[in-house]
């Protein structure tokens, strides 16, 4: 790699740096984790219902930190308001960004309100003296009832926002793929496959991230990990990896074979991905670690239930998808437009478009995510103490109903809400604050379990001691 002290003096350079590599990655994670949340909200995968709130706040945290990348890449960041005042819609795909982002933020606010309203209502009542209780009481926006009708209305709002949100998520990430795909000046970017490639790998990365976050959070709090959720997420991961691999192979065959590709496309694809600086990131990271190895490692049902395997494969997938963004963005710019030389594309440690700024953006996303984890009542269905040492028997998840949550995905029951006061003692009802020990105060879990049969608790089944 040439020294960087004279970078920027040639006629061709890499104009879109690491921030523009990271931006499709983050927006892909936004779209992907949103899709995981909608799997239970819209597509009826009730087994994944406990992680839907977690996926939703993960998506929201990443969504709020996504514009930092492109804002940090613009050379005149103080003028980004012009995207609103002078937007060149619909001719410039980049001009749509701010509109889509604002619409998506509003939609996420509505959806998060509906997802967490019941939990906030409960927390506002039972923990009304604490800060969290006060925040929750604001977040309910005054609607405090947790009866069946309001819960049904919440679910309806969630279904609608999930449906529209899927379209917006596709638009949010699709326009980025379209920016690259519509660039007729760069042979490596100009392909109709580009938007589809980006969307599918986005969903892959989102599933992997939710898997990793679920495992990490459960391990951190010492909760019991539901193998059913792990296995189902792995199943979805395999399905989308297959689709992603198919598109990658189509891209490889149509661009990397001399007989099928135009000269410029083939020459640069061959020079960069087959012989040049991107061999290892393409075959090793994007295709190998990111697609083929997780596919093989998660092939059997038994391997899909293993926690360590799932975590490692999820991490591999995340690395592989970042490598895909790198290959597309950096590789496309390494292909010279007007000469025969490979444009050098240095990775800078600190400064503009550097690794430091990328880490910074992820740090902001992490900070937001931790703040949402602190403030939002997302633990429904996840907060289960581990049994024993936590080393589960393999195979004890899918076929028979497990001793915990998720075992009733096949059990269809009509939603008949029992009266609220059946299972609670009068003392419990009479106590106003959350200062009492948990044995007396019914947890939100118990409340929820009365109305959502899919969520069962070890406490209610085995009794609190």
Q: Which positions touch another protein (CB under 8 A)?
A: 1-16, 70, 73-77, 79-80, 82-83, 86-88, 91-95, 97, 179, 183-186, 277, 333, 336-344, 348, 351-352
| Whole-number Å distance between alpha carbons of 352 and 172 | 25
Nearest to another protein of 6, 220 (CB atom): 6
| Least Å from the CB of residue 271 to another protein | 10
Those residues with Cβ within 8 angstroms of residue 160's Cβ, 6 or more apart along the chain or in another chain: none
CA distances from 291 to 164, 237, 270, 446, 457 (A): 29, 10, 21, 41, 36
Task: Give the residue with the Cβ less far from another protein, 16 or 170.
Answer: 16
- Straight-line distance from the first to the last Cα atom of the chain, in angstroms, rounded to the nearest whole number: 65
Residue 278 or 447 having the CB closest to another protein = 278
CB of 34 to another protein, least distance (A): 25
Give the shortest CB-274-to-another protein separation in angstroms: 15
**Alpha carbons 446 and 276: distance in angstroms, whole number:** 59
CB of 339 to another protein, least distance (A): 5
What whole-number distance in Å separates Cα of residue 266 and Cα of residue 143? 60
Nearer to another protein, 194 or 343 (CB): 343
Judged by beta carbon, residue 332 or residue 442, the one nearer another protein is 332
Could you tell me the two tokens for 298?
């998660």
Q: Distance between CA atoms of 189 and 332, rounded to whole angstroms? A: 6
Which H or E run contains 375? helix 355-375
Cα(261)–Cα(255) distance, rounded to whole angstroms?
Answer: 5
C-alpha–C-alpha distance, residues 317 and 200, integer Å: 13
Task: Look up residue 348 and give its DSSP letter.
Answer: B
CA distances from 313 to 33, 151, 153, 308 (A): 17, 36, 38, 9
Q: Using an 8 Å Cβ cutoff, are 417 and 450 in contact? A: yes
Smallest distance from the beta carbon of 9 to another protein, in angstroms?
A: 4
Task: Give the three-state DSSP class for 313.
Answer: helix
Q: Confirm if 253 and 422 have CB atoms less than 8 A apart.
A: no
Q: How far is the CB of 195 from another protein (least distance, A)?
A: 16
CB 454 within 8 A of CB 410: no
* CB within 8 Å of 245: residues ≥ 6 apart: 287, 291, 292, 295
Dihedral angle sign, alpha carbons of residues 195, 267, 240, 326:
negative
Return the number of the residue (63 or 179) whose C-beta is nearest another protein. 179
SS3 223: strand
Judged by beta carbon, residue 246 or residue 260, the one nearer another protein is 260
Q: Minimum Å distance from CB 424 to another protein?
A: 57
How near is the Cβ of 179 to another protein at its closest, in Å?
Answer: 8
Cβ closest to another protein, residue 277 vs residue 453? 277
Q: Which is nearer to another protein, 93 or 206 (CB)?
A: 93
Nearest to another protein of 175, 372 (CB atom): 175
Q: How far is the CB of 89 from another protein (least distance, A)?
A: 9
Distance in Å, CB of 59 to another protein, minimum: 25
| Nearest residue (CB) to another protein, 77 versus 394 | 77
Handedness of CA 136, 137, 142, 145 (dihedral sign): positive
Cβ count near 114 (within 10 Å): 20
Residue of 216, 208, 214 lying closest to 237 (CA atoms): 208
Least distance (Å) from another protein to the CB of residue 192? 16
Instruction: Give the integer Cα–Cα distance in Å for 335 and 340.
Output: 8
């Amino acid at each position: 790699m040439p020294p960087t002290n004279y970078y920027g003096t040639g006629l061709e350079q890499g104009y879109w740096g690491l921030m523009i590599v990271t931006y499709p990655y983050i927006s892909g994670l936004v779209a992907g984790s949103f899709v995981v949340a909608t799997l239970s909200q819209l597509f009826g995968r009730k087994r994944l219902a406990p992680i839907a709130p977690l996926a939703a706040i993960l998506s929201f945290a990443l969504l709020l930190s996504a514009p930092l990348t492109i804002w940090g890449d613009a050379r005149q960041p103080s003028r980004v308001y012009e995207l609103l005042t002078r937007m060149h819609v619909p001719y410039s795909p980049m001009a749509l960004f701010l509109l889509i982002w604002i619409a998506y933020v509003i939609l996420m606010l509505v959806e998060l309100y509906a997802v967490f309203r019941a939990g906030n209502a409960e927390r506002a009542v039972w923990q009304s003296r604490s800060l969290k209780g006060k925040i929750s009481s604001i977040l309910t926006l005054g609607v405090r009832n947790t009866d069946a009708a309001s819960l049904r209305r919440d679910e309806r709002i969630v279904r609608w926002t999930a449906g529209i949100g899927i379209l917006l998520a596709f638009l949010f990430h699709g326009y980025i793929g379209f920016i690259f795909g519509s660039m007729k000046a760069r042979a490596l970017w100009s392909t109709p496959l580009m938007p589809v490639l980006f969307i599918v790998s986005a969903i892959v990365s989102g599933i992997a991230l939710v898997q990793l976050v679920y495992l990490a959070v459960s391990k951190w709090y010492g909760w019991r990990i539901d193998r059913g959720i792990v296995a189902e997420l792995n199943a979805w991961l395999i399905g989308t990896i297959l689709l992603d691999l198919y598109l990658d192979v189509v891209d490889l065959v149509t661009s990397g074979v001399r007989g099928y590709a135009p000269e410029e496309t083939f020459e640069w694809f061959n020079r960069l991905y087959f012989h040049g600086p991107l061999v290892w990131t393409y075959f090793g990271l994007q295709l190998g670690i990111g697609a083929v190895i997780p596919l093989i490692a998660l092939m059997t049902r038994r391997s899909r239930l293993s926690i360590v395997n799932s975590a490692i494969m999820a991490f591999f997938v995340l690395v592989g998808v970042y490598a895909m963004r790198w290959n597309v963005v950096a590789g496309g710019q390494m292909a010279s437009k007007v000469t025969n030389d490979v444009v050098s594309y240095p990775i800078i440690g600190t400064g503009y478009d550097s690794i430091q700024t990328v880490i910074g953006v992820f740090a902001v996303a992490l900070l937001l995510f931790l703040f949402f984890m602190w403030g939002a009542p997302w633990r429904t269905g996840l907060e289960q103490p581990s049994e024993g040492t936590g080393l589960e028997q393999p195979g004890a998840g899918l076929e028979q109903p497990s001793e915990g949550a998720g075992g009733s995905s096949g059990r269809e029951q009509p939603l008949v809400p029992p009266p609220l006061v059946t299972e609670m003692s009068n003392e419990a009802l009479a106590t106003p604050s959350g200062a009492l020990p948990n044995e007396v105060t019914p947890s939100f879990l118990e409340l929820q379990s009365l109305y959502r049969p899919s969520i069962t608790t070890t406490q209610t089944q085995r009794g609190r001691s």
